[in-house]
Structures are given as structure tokens and as C-alpha cells.
Amino acid sequence: MAKGFIDLAGELQEIKQQNLYRSRRVISTPQGVEITVDGQAVINFSSNDYLGLANHPDVIASFKRATDKFGVGSGSAHLICGHSASHHALEEELAEFTGRDRVLLFSTGYMANLGVISALLGRGDQVFQDRLNHASLLDAGLLSGARFKRYFHNDLLDLNKKIKPIEGRTLIVTDGVFSMDGDVAPLTELSALAKEKNAWLMVDDAHGLGVLGESGAGVLQKNRLTQQDVPILMGTLGKGFGTFGAFVAGSDVLIETLIQKARSYVFTTALPAAVAEATRTSLKLVIEESWRREKLRSLAKRFRLGAGQLGLSLMSSDSAIQPILIGESQRAVEISEALLSKGFLVTAIRPPTVPKGGARLRVTFSANHQPQHVDQLLDALDNISV
């Protein structure tokens, strides 16, 4: 073996010793509440398909109709010849949905975050990020070349202290709903601080879209924050919407800038048009079927009540993400494996995804769960004596 690969084997061994080794499970059914994992039937509490739309018959039918009409591949980037009428219509519908002037589709949320932050910032600018922000935001901040500072989680005093006026641009970035904690950023206060400091505010609402707000338009709708309050909104389509892709919403000037300068937009193939058509149908379901949001709230409430009675360590969340804090990685993995042997898929989340000593079981709900699924999970947690 070449020397470099011997080093890699050593590194892998170290990751194993720290109980941080990751491996993939093979799913042989559609995404949903009941899935088959490595040949075993389980109840799924790990998916981000919060509204249960990933395998919805109407979404599937739209996808199939669109592949009959448009085929599979989009053929090129949006700026060459890949931008179809389906993409265009979805952008317009998402702009109306989010109450923003315009929307730009990206192929993934990771790429949207890289594209936005590195298009807006460079050397001489500064970016402030909540320390629990999603990895794609942190990576984007580093890639941009701007001065990069993290502030303590949801800590406005710390952020206020750290922001110094500079010649260049200042951007504050936060998750709307934090992906591994389920809590919400203090957006009204962040927006006021951003205005005071003459900074832009960007919110990544991957986990709030579809789930929060009257018509599912997310954490900004819930907090009644307009485009003036939060000029840059990023949303993903692979979670609550149940499809794939992402978008950025904001002013005409913002979107035009991204079309010119966001490298992860310019230099990549457009989503298949069929994904855009499937998402247009998802969007209708998101808006019209508010029972899905209500169901999520009642499932989370039922779980929190029961988990509290078992003395489990919950986090302050009223979203579809309800983590149980464990602490040690090894213990989190053991509990996750014990749950799996009882037929429940609950992933252990370990560093570096969460801070050291902060390993947890990330329980997520779907609108397709039934109350008895929650009760069964609570029974299993009780039996394992977490």
C-alpha cells in the first residue's frame, strides 16, 4: 500500500477507538415511518421528511408526469440551457410563498450556503455565525475569505460584543431552527441588532420550512419577519418538502448578484425539471394541509410529556426535532443499537456534528407517525433504561 493510505488506515482506526466511526445503513423501502433497514423492518424516528411528503402519491404522480414530458436530466447549468419552465414556475411560487421579491433555486442546501456567502463576502468583510450553525454555513464562511467569528449559541450579548464596525461588509448568519437541537434562534432580536450594526442577516430555515408558520412558510412567517427584517433567507426542499434541492429568497438585487457570482450556482447542473414539478405539488400540499403541522405539534407534545415522566434529558424545542441528550458518544451509540434491536431507528448524533460531550439521540417526527408509535418508542426507552 502507498504510504498515504497506510496513514489513512491509522486515522480510521483512531476514529473507531473514539466511537466516532460512521457507517451507512441500506434502506430498501421508500422513505416513511415504516422502513426496512439492512433487511429489518423498523419504525423510523430519524428522517427529516417531517411532513411525510417524500413518498406522497400526488408528489410521485407529478414527478412521473414530468419525466414523461421532460425526461430525466436537465442537460446543463441554469445559465447555459438547463433552466426550464418548471424551475422558473417553482421559483415564482416559492417567492410568493415566502413573501420575498424573488427566489433562486440551487441543487442542494449545502451549495446554496456556499454560493450565497462566498458571493456576498470576501477579504475585508466579516461574518458572524452562531457556533451551532449547520456545517455548510460554517464551511461557507471559511471559504469566503472574510474574517470569521463564531458567537455563543443564541447569545445576543456575545454577538453584540464581538461585532466591530469595519470598512467592509458585515453578515450575521444563523440557523432558523437548529438542526441538532430543535430550538429556534432569537430572530426578532437578531434582526434589530443587524439593523443597528448595519449588517445583513441571513437565516437558514432548512428545518422550519413546511413545519412552522401558518401556511408553513417557516420561522420567519411565525415571527412575522419581512424581507426588510431578514434580507437573506435560505430554505431546503429535501426536508419538510420531501423532494430535493434548495433555494435562496430575497430582493431582486440579491438574486441577480447570486446569478452572476454564486459559483455553486453558475458551475453546476440544474436540478431535473421533474424534481421541480414534484416540488410544486409538495408546495401545494405544504400550504393546504395544515393538519400535518398540527399533527407534528401534537406528536412532539405527547413525546415530551412521556419523556419527562421517564426523566429523560430533553432540549428546549417545540419543533419536529426532539433530541434526548446522552453525553458520551459510546453510550449514545449503545442506546441507538438497543433501540434498533427493538425495531426503532433513532440515530445517535456524535461530535463533530455536535459539541464534545454532547452526544444525543436525535428523535424526529413525521406527520405520518401515529400516537401509538410515540408510545411504543417511550416504552422501549423505558425498557432500555436510558
239 counts as catalytic: yes
Determine how β-strand 344-345 pairs with β-strand 40-44: parallel
Figure out which of the listed residues 204, 227, 286, 349 binds ligand PLP, where binding follows CB under 6 A.
Answer: 204
Contacting range for ligand PLP; rule: CB under 6 A; set: 1-9, 108-116, 322-330, 373-381: 108-116
Rule CB under 6 A: say whether 323 interacts with ligand PLP. no
Type of residue found at 25 = R
Of the pair 132, 361, the CB lying nearest ligand PLP is at 132
**Nearest alpha-carbon partner for 302 in 226, 222, 363:** 363
Taking CB under 6 A as the binding criterion, the range among 16-24, 105-113, 148-156, 321-329 that sits at the site for ligand PLP is 105-113
175 in Cβ contact with 134 (< 8 Å): yes
| Cis, bond preceding 352 (omega within 30 deg of 0) | yes
Alpha-carbon distance values, 370 to 122, 163, 298, 346 (Å): 48, 46, 10, 16
Strands (E), 292-365: 321-327, 344-345, 347-349, 359-364
Cβ–Cβ under 8 Å, residues 193 and 32: no
Cell 483512531: give the residue: 14
246 touches ligand PLP (CB under 6 A): yes
Q: Tell which one of 46, 74, 126, 136 touches ligand PLP (CB under 6 A).
A: 136
**Annotation says 207 is catalytic:** yes
CA distance 145 to 304: 42
84 binds ligand PLP (CB under 6 A): no
Q: Which is nearer to ligand PLP, 177 or 378 (by Cβ)?
A: 177
Q: At what angle do helices 109-120 and 135-144 cross, to 10 degrees?
A: 30
Query: What is the pattern of x (binds ligand PLP, CB under 6 A) and - over residues 153-192?
Result: ----------------------x---x-------------
For the bound state, the minimum distance from the C-beta of residue 6 to ligand PLP, rounded and expressed in Å, comes to 33
Distances (CA, A) of 251 to 22, 126, 137, 205: 40, 21, 21, 17
Total residues at interface with ligand PLP (CB under 6 A): 14
Least Cβ distance, residue 367 to ligand PLP (angstroms) = 18
Out of 62, 86, 108, 174, which residue is the one contacting ligand PLP (CB under 6 A)?
Answer: 108
Sequential DSSP letters for 211-224: TSSTTS--HHHHTT
> Is 153 an annotated catalytic residue?
no
> Which among 11-19, 192-200, 203-211, 337-345 is the span making contact with ligand PLP, rule CB under 6 A?
203-211
Near ligand PLP by CB under 6 A: residue from 66, 206, 209, 339: 206
- Cβ closest to ligand PLP, residue 127 vs residue 206: 206
Q: Which is closer to ligand PLP, CB of 190 or CB of 386?
A: 190
d(CA 184, CA 177): 4
Is the Cβ of residue 126 or residue 133 nearer to ligand PLP in the bound state?
133
Q: Which cell numbers hold the place of 371?
A: 400516537
The amino acid at 9 = A
Which range touches ligand PLP (CB under 6 A), out of 103-111, 151-159, 284-292, 312-320? 103-111
Residues near ligand PLP, by CB under 6 A: 108-110, 113, 134, 136, 175, 179, 204, 206-207, 236, 238, 246
Residues marked active site are found at 179, 207, 239
